[in-house]
Amino acid sequence: MSFLRYSLMIFSALGVTTSFVACTSGQDSASSSDIAVSDQEQMSEVDASSTPRTANGRPDLNGRWGSSGGGGSVMAIEPDGTEYNFDTFADYQAAVSEGSVSLSASIIGRRPNYRHGNNVYGERDDGMTRRYFANPPLYKGEFWNRIEYLDINGNMEDMTFICMPAGVPRMGPPIRILQSESDVVFLYQQRNTWRVIPTDGRDHDPLNSQDQTFMGDSVGRWEGDTLIVDVVGFNDLTWLGWPGWYHTNEMRVEERFTRLDDTLLYEVTVHDPEVLIEPWEMDPRVLNLNPSTATYLEDPPCLDFDSAHMVTRERG
């Protein structure tokens, strides 16, 4: 990576990003913020006494959790180019039932930077957003060339191209949480992924924490009303984000979940001193409780293909 290019990224780190990116197969969920700063301030003003709690007094994290910002989560595009935006898939289904949207309309997970709903434009626009991200992980200078190589050759080096898990923290927060007195279960929208995490404050298992896996070894503990999940034992095959943001197998990730009323604050700090100048605090995300009882859509299968011969090397 050129010195000028990386310098721009470092200078940009002084800013704040508020873009929303939907999580889709082979794409990042964790490296963009779902909320504006004002939304965070509004959340901080919520009275903690209004937060639902379990029988043991802990905040109740059970439920479906979804994005709170960035416009509609579903875009429907008619054959004539007319676009409709819906907050939820259920809203889209209702519009189809009413006849206001035809069955021939294409639907996609909406991103504000899609041009005319074209996925290729979305890939290109979002790729530029990430490459000049306002809050990138800051790598030591001797690793810049490695990052540039991985970025250019992502179609061969990014494991999500061949249906491997995006891993923690790239895949972002869960879409559903199941909570008991002794553990939590996280369900994700990618690759039918799930995690079972003890929350009794135990230490990492000395054997499990030595295994090098995509998801790592997770243990949780409560600090006040915040659930803190500590994750170690990663392999070095996953990335932190599209632009070649790699990590070593010594990475440690801290996830923090704080519920206030019907919102859930998700914060992540990445520790990898072998390659990072300092711990990377990802932009926080605020999720809203989704009261829907509709059936979950089946996660489409990931199809492995000859990514080495992709003409544009783009995911779109």
Of how many residues is the chain composed?
316
Task: List, in sequence order, every residue forming a beta bridge with 77; answer none if it has no partner.
Answer: 83, 106
Hey, where are the domains in the chain? 3-69+88-309
Residue 9's pLDDT band (cuts 50, 70, 90) = very low
Res 301: pLDDT? 76
Mean pLDDT of the chain: 79
Top pLDDT among 214 and 108 is at 214
Res 259: pLDDT? 97
Q: Is the pTM of this model over 0.75?
A: no
Residue 75's pLDDT band (cuts 50, 70, 90) = confident
Residue 292's pLDDT band (cuts 50, 70, 90) = confident
User: Is pLDDT of 171 > 50?
Assistant: yes
User: Is pLDDT of 294 > 90?
Assistant: no
What proportion of the chain, given as a percentage, has pLDDT over 70? 70
Contact predicate 190/171, CB 8 Å: yes
Res 161: pLDDT? 84
The 10s digit of each residue's pLDDT in 16-37 is 333 333 333 344 665 444 443 4
Res 303: pLDDT? 75
Residues 6+ apart with CB under 8 A from 28: 21, 130, 166, 170, 172, 241, 242
Q: Which range (54-58, 114-118, 245-249, 303-307) has the least confidence?
A: 114-118
Once rounded to an integer, what is the mean pLDDT over residues 70-90? 74
The 10s digit of each residue's pLDDT in 105-128 is 876 654 444 555 555 555 555 666
Residue 202 half-sphere exposure, CB side, CA atoms within 13 Å?
13
Res 28: pLDDT? 66
Q: How far apart are CA 48 and CA 175, in angstroms?
A: 23
